[in-house]
Structure 1
């Protein structure tokens, strides 16, 4: 099958990526997930990154482009960008992850994938506090990750977690506090079955947040130590 793609405008002033072969991003995304499940993580990451590069090359340099979320192939392309941004975040390549997420938000201003949350973690890791302040306002206070971000931001800036923030996290988000102060965070079969179910438990969601950000706490262990005190 020949590799080819076009960026087609829609009546809603968005664009769809119509492609085949290497530009069939539904297939690319599915295959990368299969590789991941087989433990071929590096291959999966490379596949997503190369797909991201192909998407970038499709985009005009001097024109605003909003991609059509409702189109399956275009949505898969957005999901590929997000997944590759996560890949880079997990290896502490915060600059590349940030560049991908900023592009993603330009292409999908409604932020269907909630890319802004990972972007906020990236900004804090890079000590980009003004940028963090801008995006953190758009993250709902209902999310436990917002509380983690708020505490970590204060800790990054001052070396301490405000007592009120710590108390609120411990009481309002108790399962998350328990997870973040635990010595063990197994991604075992029980957890995987729980998190992949239709209604995952709060405990599983707490572990998911830990596992998604564990690289940060390995890199910046003082924050977790302060949280445990």
Structure 2
């Protein structure tokens, strides 16, 4: 028997109320515990199955916006995002994008900044028109936006636009330094820094590299072009 319901609120949103497999807060916490214990595959499977259960609850052809300030609804959104990241990391960019597209339908305010990862997915899939639609939702204060614009131009034209390159080198210097570096160790110094209350910009730059490294393994030419700009 299904133990879940979408309860409307006065704010035109819905609260996802559920128990058992529909207690997404519990399921998400359990998947994180599994991952911390080393069962990464099990954690990923747990999150994806939770997403599948959630998708079945959403009525087709109707607008459903989940209430961010409701614990279980927020956990459901976080589960979708986490599963999108899982699929991104195993290079299933198409499924990752599909998950994020649903996430943005359920959370148009994009509290989890899923637009950023979706932009990476679209470029990996060479969906330039879709990329053009979503890039404006990525904050111009984000180093990712500059990387995305540079990579998009490189995928289109095989070269880096000088204006964007200059902006990346000057406004986001620690990120530029990280992306042209020969090594990116996730060593104890980095882990202490990134897990601190106020991580340095250099640590945040390495975190972004590590989050997107699978792309640069597939498209090393882009990183090579960035490194060429140093010389």
TM-score (norm 2): 0.95
Does 2:88 match 1:64? no
Cα RMSD, aligned residues only: 1.2
Residue in structure 1 matched with residue 179 of structure 2 by the alignment: 180
Unaligned ranges ≥5, structure 2:
none
- 1:67-146 matches, within 5 Å, as 67-146=66-145
Report if the CA contact (8 A) 1:176-1:203 is conserved.
yes
Aligned position for 1:14: 13
Q: Counterpart in 1 of 2:36?
A: 37
Q: 8 Å contact 1:3–1:21 — kept in the other structure? A: no
Are the equivalent residues in 2 in contact too, given 1:101–1:116 (CA < 8 A)?
A: yes
Secondary structure class of the residue paired with 1:152: helix
Q: Partner residue of 1:51?
A: 50
SS in 2 for 1:207: helix
**For structure 1, which segment, 166-175 or 90-99, has the greater mean C-alpha deviation from structure 2 after superposition?**
166-175
Tell me the CA shift for residue 137 of structure 1. Answer: 1.5
2:137 counterpart SS class: coil
What secondary structure sits across from 1:7 in the alignment? strand
Residue 4 of structure 1: aligned partner? 3
TM-score by length of 1: 0.96
Q: Which whole-Å deviations, capped at 9, do the CAs of 1:36-93 have from their partners, x for residues lacking one?
A: 1122111110010000001001111121100000001100000000000011111111
Distance 2:175 2:181 in 1: 10
- Count of residue pairs brought into register by the alignment: 228
Unmatched tracts of structure 1, length 5 or more: none
Once residues 132 and 52 of structure 1 are traced to their aligned partners in structure 2, the CA distance between those partners, rounded to angstroms, is 24
Distance, in Å, in 1 between the alignment partners of 2:129 and 2:102 is: 19
Residue aligned with 1:8, SS: strand
Superposition deviation, residue 3 in structure 1:
6.6
